[in-house]
Homo-oligomer: A and B are copies of this chain.
Amino acid sequence: MDTPEGPPPERLRALPSRLTNGAALIANRIVDQALAQAGVRRYHYALLATLEEYGPASQAALGRRTGIDRSDMVTTVNDLAERRLLERAPDSEDRRRNIITITPAGRRQLANLDRLLAAAQDEYLAPLSAADRQNLIDLLTRLVDHHGDKHNQRAAATPS
C-alpha cells in the first residue's frame, strides 16, 4: 500500500540528548528484563554490588556511593533484608546508623546477577565491536564525569 509511516524526523534523530535517552531506554529495558529473572531490580543489584566491593557500610554511605536516594535506600534494604541477602544491624558506635552487611546468600545471588547482567550488556551492545564498545564507554564516562555525578558534587570539588 502506501507508506503509513515515515521514520522519525531528522531534527529529532540528530539530537544527541534524544539519542542518549533512546539508548538508555533500550539498555534499561534489557537490563530490567534480565534482572527480573532473579526477581530483582536495578537498585537491588547496585546495592549488593557496592556492598561486596566496599564491605559493610551505613545506609547513608551506600546511598552516596550508589546514587540512590536515602528514602529509596530504605525500601531497597528492606527488600533485600527480607530475602536474607543482607543484614541490617544498628551500629554500636553510632546509634544513628544501621550497618548493612551482605550475607553469603547475598554473594551467591550477586554472582548470579553478574552473570545475567553481563549477558544483558552484551545484548545491548550487540551491534558494536569491542573497540566501539570501549569507545562508547569512554565517551559516556567523560560526559558523566564532566557533569559531576548529578548535582551531588559537594565532595567532588570541595576538599573541606
Interface residues of A (CB under 8 A from B): 2-17, 19-31, 46, 49-50, 53-54, 61, 64-67, 114, 117, 120-121, 124-128, 132-133, 135-137, 139-147, 149-150, 155, 160
Contact = CB atoms under 8 A, between A and B. Distances in A.
B124 A9 contact: no
Contacts of A50: 8-9, 11-12
Contacts of A3: 155
A137 to B, nearest CB: 6
Nearest to A121: B16
A31 B11 contact: no
A144 B23 contact: yes
Q: How many copies does the complex hold?
A: 2
Contact of A5 (B24, B25, B65, B117): B65
Contact of A9 (B54, B120, B132, B139): B54
Contact of A26 (B10, B14, B22, B150): B150
A124 B16 contact: yes
Given A16-B125, A30-B17, A139 B142 contact: no
A52 to B, nearest CB: 8
